[in-house]
Amino acid sequence: MKTTTVADAKSHLSALLTEIEAGEEVVITRRGKPVARLVPEPPVHGFEWSDLRDWVSATPAPGLTVAEMREQDLL
C-alpha cells in the first residue's frame, strides 16, 4: 500500500490512477494523518451475447402466465 500527501496526489494524479488500476491501494494523508484510501474498482462482468441467445431461444412451456414466467426467471 502506497502513502502520499494531498499535494503529491494533486500533482501526480494520473500516475496514481495508473498504479491503482494495476491493483495498488493508495492512502492520501493530510498533515501526516490518513484522510482517504483509493482502491481499484472491482472488475465488471460484462454482458455475454450467448446469454441473450440462450434466453431468446428458451421457449416457455405453453400456458404459463407472465407472473408464472417471472417466478421461474423466464422473463
Q: What is the DSSP string of 6-32?
A: HHHHHHTHHHHHHHHHTT--EEEEETT
Model pLDDT, residue 37? 97
Domains detected in the chain: 2-38 (3.40.1620.10), 45-75 (no CATH)
Model pLDDT, residue 33? 97
36's grid cell: 482517504
Q: Which of 9, 46, 50 is nearest to 30 (CA)?
A: 9
Model pLDDT, residue 60? 65
Query: Looking at the predicted structure, is the pLDDT value of residue 72 above 90?
Result: no
pLDDT band at 70 (very low <50, low <70, confident <90, very high): confident
- Residue 47, SS3? coil
Q: Would you give the DSSP letter of residue 5?
A: E
Span 7-49, pLDDT tens digits: 999 999 999 999 999 999 999 999 999 999 999 998 887 778 8
